[in-house]
Amino acid sequence: MDYLQRDILRCPRVAVYGTLKKGRRNHHWLEGATLIGHDRLDAITLYDLGPYPGAKLAPSNGTVVEIYAINAQQLARLDELEDYFHHAPDKGVYDRAVLTTRHGEAWCYLYNANIDESALISSGEWQDAR
């Protein structure tokens, strides 16, 4: 069993907060996924990185997410988009972690690099102005 099969068995959902949300420019990467619902996660803090947002594992007033049911192929595509390396998660642009949502556990991509605190999105909802 490869890592994607293990990961999808562990958690067959993903929580998205930026360009992957419905109506946003990267939503097509979730083609075939099923929207389960929405939540506001207070375990992550959202930051504006310009063309896309990044989340850090840190308490907040809540980050607005959409939760999707996915399969291993969809998870592999998301790993590619998010520059996630399962063999060296701290080397990619994003790592992923399992977070608890009102719809069950879900993978969430967390930004690896340092964040400028002035880019904090206190509303928890990233708006793509581009």
Beta strands in 1-127 (DSSP E): 13-16, 34-41, 44-48, 53-57, 63-69, 94-101, 104-111
Which entry of 80, 82, 117, 125 is annotated as an active-site residue? Answer: 82
Work out the number of other CB atoms within 10 angstroms of the CB of residue 30: 21
Q: Is 82 a catalytic residue?
A: yes
Catalytically active residues, by annotation: 82
